[in-house]
Every structure is written in C-alpha cells, then in structure tokens.
Amino acid sequence: MSSLNLDDFTDLIERPDGGVRRDAEARRERQIVPPGSLGRLDDLGEWLAAAQGTVPVRPVERPRVVLFAGDHGIAELGVSARPAGSAGQLVRDVLEGARPVSVLARRLGVPVRVVDMALDCDPETLPEDVVRHRVRRGSGRIDIEDALTPEEAEAAFRAGVALADEEADSGTDLVVLGDVSVGGTTAAGVLVAALCGTDASVVTGRGGLAIDDLAWMRKCAAIRDALRRARPVLGDQLQLLATVGGADLAAITGFLLQSAVRKMPVILDGVVVAACALVGQRVAFRAPDWWLAAHDSGEPGQAKALDRMALEPVLTQGVRVGEGAGALLALPVVQAAAALSAELPERAEEKSEEKAAETDDAEVSQPE
C-alpha cells in the first residue's frame, strides 16, 4: 500500500502572502513613475514580493534551470520530427552547451540541472548526477499501454518532490522549469484534453520541429486513443500520470507541487510543463499562484492549460524548441521587474507626508 497521499498538498500549500502583495501595491503607488506605466512589470514585481513575503522585493540572485528528461514510447508512431528514443542525444547536447537553453543560460549566468527520469539510452553514457533518479528506460506507448506502473509513477513523483526540496534547501530563489523529451508533447496533449474535457484535435500541436500534416494526423490519432484510456482514471491524478503521462511528467508534477509547498516560485516553459501544472492544479487549487507562465509557444495544448489555470504568458515569441529556452527568456523580465519594484524612489511629496505623519505621531506620544 502506498503511503503517498496527494490530498496532503491541498493542506500544505498556502497562497502567497496577500498582505505583502497589498503593501507592494501601495509602495508602487508612491513611486515616481505612475502606476500602470510599466505595464506587466508592476504585476510581476508584486507577484514576486508576495512569493518572497517581503517588501521591497529582493533581487532574484540564485535562479536555476531544472530540466526533466525522458523518452516516450508513443514516439514510435512517428508523432515527432525526432526519432524515437533520441532524447538522450538532446541531453548530451544540453550538457555540452550546444542547445539554445545552454547558450541562454551561459549568457545569463544561470546554472542548468538536467534530470534523467526515463531516457532510452545506456545510463553509462551520461553523468551520474544526471541519471541517479532514473525510473525506467523509456515510458510506455500510451495509446495501447500504461506509461508507467503505479510504483514507477510514485517513484518519479517522489523524485520530483525530493529535487524541489534540494533546490529550496540549497538557496535557489526561482526555478526555470522545462523538459527534454521526444514524444512528450503527445503525452502532454492527452493530459490537457482529459483534464479540460476537449477532443484530441483541440490540443494537438506540431511540436518543437513543426511536424508535417501526416505526422500531425498520426499525433492526433495517438492522443485520441490515449484519451480513451485516460478518462476512466481522471479521479486519481497519480494513476492518470501512470496511465498516459510518463516518468518525466510525473516528476515535473511532484516538483511543481513541492515547490509551492516550499514557497519557491517557478517559471513554466512549454506545453509539457503546462500540462503537468494542470495536473498539479487538480491536486491543489492554490498551487498555480506560485507559478509564472513564461511564454506562448503556439502549442494549442499549452494555451488551453494556461487558460484553465488563469495564467497569462509574459512573452509571446513563438519559441517551440522546449528545453526551458522560452522560460529562460522570461527570467530577465522578472529580474527587471524586481529591480524596478525595489529601487525606484518614491515621490518627494510622499516622503514629506510620511515624515510629517511620523512627527505628529511622536508629538502625540510625548508625556504631558
């Protein structure tokens, strides 16, 4: 019998501090640039202040990119422009600095952590710190079989929880969360369609390399068939991840929920992470308050998931490559919002009024 009870997250996750957010809004109204003139940056600064529980907001000084990696058996059907089982090479490229996320992370000075949950490759070909959480070699073909056993799904979910604790304990103050997968967007589409009650065609996108029409039709059919298998287990989120998710998706879901428990804000990347966030919302309705949607990738499944969670993307750049690249682009915007919120001076008249109020209070408090 499993000791994992996802319902516990409902009690463990609190909303970001609403009082602090109101204080941040009040401070913003006193600053020299009129409220609203910085657009979305005002909202981002206030969101971050509430997540940190402090005004003025602290700068984001120790961000980290965390990427969960896995191969999906459904890729055997030709639903991806990449060959089935090739995510391991993508991981090696990330580690060697040859992927977009590597270039951006290097430019921004942000460390990248890659976690192998279900790559279909020999573990000896990757560093030990990458493969130590692996649950299995490749996830099952979800149109005809479960992605994982219940035990594997729990192990993957727990790995995600443990990694969130590691990041929080090490002082990471914001996580840029992404995936490195082949076939992952198909599994994500199934989760989004199941949780939003939509048809396969509504959530089927063309992936990072823009598959052709024939591949899109194969992908749509695969999501349709997997969706039939998903609907009977909608009431059990862990079983849903085992049936039509995958080890990387289960780990991402665990990571997101535990990050909310630990009050560690997370920037979400593309459709795979958005689908996991949607599962997380079903587990604990307050959890999305700790997450920020980085960008609109153009994937219909991502748009559907973000709309359901009422999360508005920061950027619209059409970045479909995945691997956290689009989310990393949003990091400088968040850091800029934090700097403006903390460092813009207040208007002179506001300072004079505050000083006068302090003087009056001091006079009233003087003994006769």
Number of residues that make up the chain: 368
**Which H/E stretch holds residue 186?**
helix 184-196
Residue 83: strand, helix, or coil:
coil
Give the three-class secondary structure for 10.
Answer: helix
DSSP state of 72: B
Measured distance CA(154)–CA(183) in Å, rounded: 21
Q: Say if CB 211 and CB 199 are below 8 A apart.
A: no
Closest by Cα among 6, 88, 2 to 253: 6
Q: Of the candidates 238, 228, 281, which has an alpha carbon nearest to the alpha carbon of residue 152?
A: 238
Task: Please tell me the number of Cα atoms within 13 Å of 185 on its side-chain side.
Answer: 31
- For residues 266 and 285, is the Cβ–Cβ distance under 8 A? no
- Please give the helix or strand (H or E) that residue 55 lies within, else none: none
Q: Taking the CA of residue 137 as centre, how many other CA atoms within 13 Å lie in the half-sphere pointing to its CB?
A: 6
DSSP 288: G
Radius of gyration for the chain, computed over Cα atoms and rounded to the nearest angstrom = 22
CA dihedral 4, 115, 285, 46 (to 10 degrees): 140
Give bridge partners of residue 66 from the DSSP assignment. Answer: 113, 177
Token code pair at residue 316: 């619209």
Q: Any idea which residues carry the catalytic annotation?
A: 323
